[in-house]
Amino acid sequence: MSVISKKIRNSARGQECQVRIPGVCNGNNETVILAHVGKGSGMGQKCDDIHATYACSACHDVIDGRVRIGDPRINRLYAYDAMVRTQKLLLEQELIKVAK
């Protein structure tokens, strides 16, 4: 079962970049999108929308590998930390819920 949500994807508009790679992040909220962090189940497939982060265009290019800056392993850590921050924001916006 894939988790795909138009509401979660649309929620990225105007948000602050959560990846914030030093020297890379453009800080432009107008370029922020929901960037998938994990790997999908096959070549060219994206992971679920809950395994994603709010990322500016510059940070998105780095975590997706289109732009190579710094250590890719460190950039992955930035992305995973950002995913946790984004999940917290999604909980606050009630776009994801945890069963009680």
Whole-Å CA distances, 9 to 12, 18, 47, 65 = 6, 14, 13, 21
The tens digit of pLDDT for each residue in 58-71 reads 999 999 999 999 99
User: Is residue 41 over pLDDT 80?
Assistant: no
Amino acid at the residue 57: S
Answering whether pTM is above 0.75, one says yes
pLDDT band at 18 (very low <50, low <70, confident <90, very high): very high
State the number of CA atoms in the 13 A half-sphere of 18 facing the CB: 26
Q: What is the DSSP letter of 2?
A: -
Q: Which CATH superfamily is domain 6-90 in?
A: prophage-derive protein ybcO (3.30.50.20)
Dihedral through CA 82, CA 88, CA 93, CA 97, nearest 10?
120
Residues annotated as catalytic (active site), given as ranges = 36
